[in-house]
Chain A
Amino acid sequence: MRLSFYPGCSLEGMANDYARSIDTVFRDLGIDLVEIEDWSCCGATAAHSLSQTMSVVLPARNLAVAEKMGLDIVSPCAMCFNRLRFSQNMIRKKVFDIPWHVTGELRVHDMTRFMAEPSMIKSIKKRVLKPLNGLRVVCYYGCQMVRPPKITGYTDYENPQTLDRIIATTGAQVIDWSYKSTCCGASIGIARREIQESLTRRILQKAQQAGAEAIVVSCPLCQSNLDIIQKDRSDRCTPVFYFTELLRLSFMESGASKLFKMHFADPVSLLKAKRLL
């Protein structure tokens, strides 16, 4: 299977460990990811905030290139996924002039939903070498991947299941909780840190109260918010994994602690205690 891959800016910088784990996992699953040639930023919240036209035009550039390649897009970042879908929606309404030839007919997959399809779950199950037994986690989805449902296409936006299903396949114990899609504060932390920290801290607390030893996410911004807030904490820390990191771990005979060196909330001791490293 071949798909075009739109990594997004975070995967080159803050989340380059996510990018590497995606590479490994998709190679192991035998899916060919072709990076969209010469892709550019989707504009994120800033474009949407300051210029509606740019918020349609910027993602459209990448859609146009992918359409030329003729491959459906898969996007690991929740924000990029949301923006690409939004742009497609607007392109189909034909109220903006797009400087490139683009129809908006490609399918844009969010990576978790793509991996949670029954056929993929089956092939993941086949690949698991070392089940992550005994690891108790909660899955955190954030906003942009599930909302607004009209754009993302999630019907279970109140209690999404994609990550839960994927992680359950690796043998980890997935705990149900109520804060799956509560906002983590997103990029407001750069200008108004206290707002972001109050939101992020609440999610962290609720995860711990639910009995989780780790949080599983798929959004680079959620990961850095939840991770960085724990940077000065040495006692009860709750590591924040990208779901592909756990998949990669379960695909390996024995993991290596250097794979997790980009984390602030250190996962190594937890994984060692569970005999997973």
Chain B
Amino acid sequence: MQNIISGLNQAHEHVPGKKRKLIGDRGDFFLNRMQGETGVNISACYQCERCTNACPVSHFMDIKPHQAIRYVQLGWREDLLKSSTIWICLSCEMCTTYCPNEVDVAEIIHHLRNMAVHSSITPKEKSLAVFHQTFLEVLRKSGRINELRLMNAYYLKPDILHERIKNNILKEDLLLGMALLRKGRLKLFTPKFRAIKEIKKAYSQTRGEIV
């Protein structure tokens, strides 16, 4: 029993002696839910690792793409939502393209990301999660993305500025910003945009608000 899924534990913090993680009475519930929501036949995965080998950033991930698929099959939802994998993924679609069984790995990772933001779990790669969120907020406000506005909004998010100062990238960022400005690559003003009403409505609808 111990050995059947032991390969999975390279990245997973399973300590010998500690109680082994079981699928539990959740059964196939999570797997079926994922399959239903993504339309992907996740059970078709036979762990050939082609997705992980194709992935350009698998070495930055704690759960490798093929392992993520296995975790879904096992119903280990929390481990997935807590992982850095779902945030590190670049959506480069290498995994999906090369899977021999047409498992849409990238879509599954996207869907897990979706789930993670709607859960109470704090994302492991907070700076990445906050970036995506800021992007959507700016988009909601102005309908189009203006790089300068996006970066400003991003910096104003709690912890981001602090983290950037701590990691010594603030100065670099400012220099880059100045250089971009000099080269004329930043747009300073966004023109008033008429479709914004429709976009705001679409946003509220997706959140289940009626008016």
Contact = CB atoms under 8 A, between A and B. Distances in A.
B185 A38 contact: no
B131 A149 contact: no
Interface in A1-24: 9, 12-16
Interface stretch (B22-30, B68-76, B87-95): B87-95
Contacts of A41: 139, 143-145
B185 A49 contact: no
A148 B97 contact: yes
B83 interface: no
B79 interface: no
Contact of A54 (B88, B151, B202): B202
Contacts of A187: 131
A68 interface: no
Interface in B128-174: 128, 130-133, 135-136, 139, 143-148, 151, 154, 169
A105 B194 CA distance: 25
B90 A50 contact: no
Interface string B171-208: 00000100110011111000001110011011101100
Nearest to B56: A183
A161 interface: no
Contacts of B203: 54
B206 A186 contact: no
B64 interface: no
Interface in A126-154: 143-144, 147-149
Contacts of A199: 56-57
Interface string A29-72: 00000000011110111111111111001100100000000000
Nearest to A263: B183
B38 to A, nearest CB: 9
Contacts, number: 153
Q: How large is the interface on A (under 10, 10 to 19, 20 to 34, 35 or more residues)?
A: 35 or more
Give the residue among B93, B125, B133, B154 with the most A Cβ atoms within 10 A: B93
Nearest to B132: A46
A183 B93 CA distance: 9
B66 interface: no
Contact of B131 (A39, A58, A191, A261): A191
A231 interface: yes
A263 B184 CA distance: 10
Contacts of A195: 57, 60, 88
Given A40-B199, A148-B97, A188-B88, A262 B154 contact: no
A199 B136 CA distance: 26
A13 B125 contact: no
A54 B136 contact: yes
Contact of A143 (B93, B130, B202): B93
B97 A99 contact: no
Contact of B205 (A48, A99, A182): A99
Contacts of A57: 202, 206
A15 B176 CA distance: 16
B94 A183 contact: yes
B144 A12 contact: yes
Interface stretch (B1-9, B13-21, B45-53, B111-119): B111-119
Nearest to A100: B198
A13 B181 CA distance: 10
Given A48-B91, A61-B199, A261-B183, A148 B96 contact: yes
A142 B179 CA distance: 25
12 contacts: A9-B144, A38-B194, A41-B145, A46-B135, A48-B110, A49-B113, A61-B199, A148-B104, A183-B56, A190-B151, A224-B185, A264-B183
Given A57-B202, A61-B202, A186-B91, 12 more contacts: A14-B180, A14-B186, A16-B184, A43-B136, A44-B135, A46-B136, A49-B132, A100-B198, A143-B93, A144-B91, A186-B92, A228-B176
